[in-house]
Amino acid sequence: MERHPRGDGGGPQPSRLGLDLAKAGPVMKTYQMYINGHFVDSSDGEIIPVENPASEEPFAEVPAATVEDVDRAVQAAREAFDNGPWSRMSQKERITKLMALVDAMKAKETELYSIESEHSGIPIRKTTLMDIPIGIEMFRTMVEQSDFPLYEPLPWTDFPKISWNFVQREPIGVCAGISAWNFPWLFTMWKSAPALAMGNTLVFKPASYTPLTALEFAKIVDECDFPPGVVNVITGSGSTVGAELCTHPLVDKVSFTGSTEVGQEVQRMAAGTLKRLTLELGGKSANIVLDDAYLDLSAEAALFACFFNAGQSCEAGTRLLVQDGIYDEFMATMLEKAKTITVGDPADFETTMGPLISQSQRTMVESYIQSAHDEGAALLFGGGRTAGMQHGYYIDPTVFANVTPEMRIFKEEIFGPVLAVTRFKTNDEAIALANDSMYGLGGGIWTRDLQKGIEMAKAVRTGTVWVNDYHLLNANAPFGGYKMSGTGHEMSTYALKEYTEMKHIHVDLVGDKRDDKFWMDYSVNRE
């Protein structure tokens, strides 16, 4: 993203987003970062414009943090962890504080609907019914789940009993969260809840395209009177802010969500200080429809699996595998249902698919559509920019058939509304096709035989498999990937424990009976 000196540039066209539309106006919104309990500009005064992808107009500006700003945030988080009360609080005290934050977020929920939609292009029906309320509930659930024993006794293995051994879980320290742009509020919740609940301090960097709801989260934190430095939210480029967080010696853990290519670079940068890592990366998930599936339901679900969030979902079912026995009927049904997808203004509650995030993203998606044509796939639906949309980075939902494993649209993550359909004969062939990928994040299986579905799910090399469903993530269940889709997990007690260090404590039970401490004879002769 560009950096600009702060100033009063030309304002955007009046936005139609928001619940109180009559009050909307051409006012440039300005935000500050949140460091050590204070809202601040960048140290050099530069800013990043935030664009509405539906109008292609900037409507807000945020600070472009410098390396010095990142260091200030990390130093604040370090001081808060080492010498502040947060890491020393009991679990009960932290949970009480975080549940008050949940209540404060709920009170601001309505304001967040339109902000989330405006900076991301996500339809407001989705931010209202899904992104904001479900994100808050996921935060709440993870906080509630953090009330588990941090002490774990170990089995007695020696006789006579010469020692008492146990594992104590402790917070890691300063945790950096680096987020992607496709689910801004949800990722803010996923990164902050486990870090804070387990007693860590947080430096959070939202994506440059979609920083606003993370900065609104900082405002809510400030109103809840958290100790300074416990939560810090800084904005800026990945090349400056993200790189500095990955290499800073005082950062103990990095949780990154984004592309596999950037995740690899995060891992390389973090290796210098051996930081703990959670990497939730790319995907090219297979959605398998067996010939005994409920046809109408699975046909509609195939569209949901791919075109949810305009295909900008890392676990999206963008490879559709359909069994021969129902292929023709299934495809006819699915293509008829595809006509019900409403592409349009995210401010309209009837819109089900908004624009892509940026011009560069649309250009990349168009290059994949062209490659599908060049490699011999058959275009069945869509394939171009949405008619009638004079502004905005729109692409129609697009369906290609006759896709083979050698084609780019079968192998590579597109991150846009492009569905690649491949037919198969046997269940074993479907599993082989599903596993023919460097990724392993999500997947789906559609069948009336649940036992068969479960057995096939076990054979798919991926972190989450839905049987007769798709996209539903559960805060009680881990979310993470196999292979090039990442390492570590988000959500649930599995994620909470990844924000702790395990310390083994050995307590001697022999006392001063030197004769019983025979192991000392290995290096010290008795007098």
Q: Are strands 286-289 and 443-446 parallel, antiparallel or unpaired?
A: parallel
C-alpha closest to that of 30 among 66, 56, 6, 54: 6
Q: Are strands 439-440 and 201-205 parallel, antiparallel or unpaired?
A: unpaired
For residue 525, what pLDDT is reported?
86
Length of the chain: 527
Calpha distance 479→490 (Å, rounded): 5
> What's the predicted TM-score (pTM) here?
0.93
DSSP H/E element including 194: helix 184-197
| Amino acid identity at 308 | F
Tens of pLDDT, residues 248-263: 999 999 999 999 999 9
Q: State the number of CA atoms in the 13 A half-sphere of 192 facing the CB.
A: 27
Calpha distance 269→456 (Å, rounded): 38
Question: Residue 210 CA to chain centroid, in angstroms?
Answer: 13
For residue 160, what pLDDT is reported?
77
Active site members: 280, 314
Please answer whether residues 315 and 471 qualify as being in contact, where contact means their C-beta atoms are separated by less than 8 angstroms.
yes
Q: Which tokens go with 501?
A: 């260090």
Q: CATH classification of 286-475, choosing from 3.40.640.10, 3.40.50.740, 3.40.309.10, 1.10.4160.10?
A: 3.40.309.10
CA distances from 508 to 154, 158, 503 (A): 14, 12, 16
Calpha distance 68→173 (Å, rounded): 20
SS3 content of the chain, % helix, strand, coil (to 5): 40, 20, 40
Burial of 99 (C-beta count, 10 Å sphere; 0-12/13-18/19+): middle
DSSP string covering 29-82: EE--EEETTEEE--TT-EEEEEEETTTTEEEEEEE---HHHHHHHHHHHHHHHH
Question: Residue 209 CA to chain centroid, in angstroms?
Answer: 15
Q: For every residue of 113-168, which 3-state class applies, written as one string?
A: HHHHHHHHCCCHHHHHHHHHHHHHHHHHHHHHHCCCCCEEECCCCCCCCCEEEEEE
For residue 459, what pLDDT is reported?
98
| Amino acid identity at 506 | H
Per-domain residue ranges for the chain? 32-281+494-501, 286-475
CATH code of the domain occupying 32-281+494-501: 3.40.605.10
3-class SS of residue 371: helix
Chunked into runs of 10 residues, the chain (527 residues) has average pLDDT values of 34 36 63 98 97 98 98 98 96 98 98 98 98 98 97 86 94 98 98 98 98 98 98 97 98 98 98 98 98 98 98 98 98 98 97 98 98 98 96 98 98 98 98 98 98 98 98 96 97 97 96 89 86
For residue 26, what pLDDT is reported?
52
For residue 157, what pLDDT is reported?
78
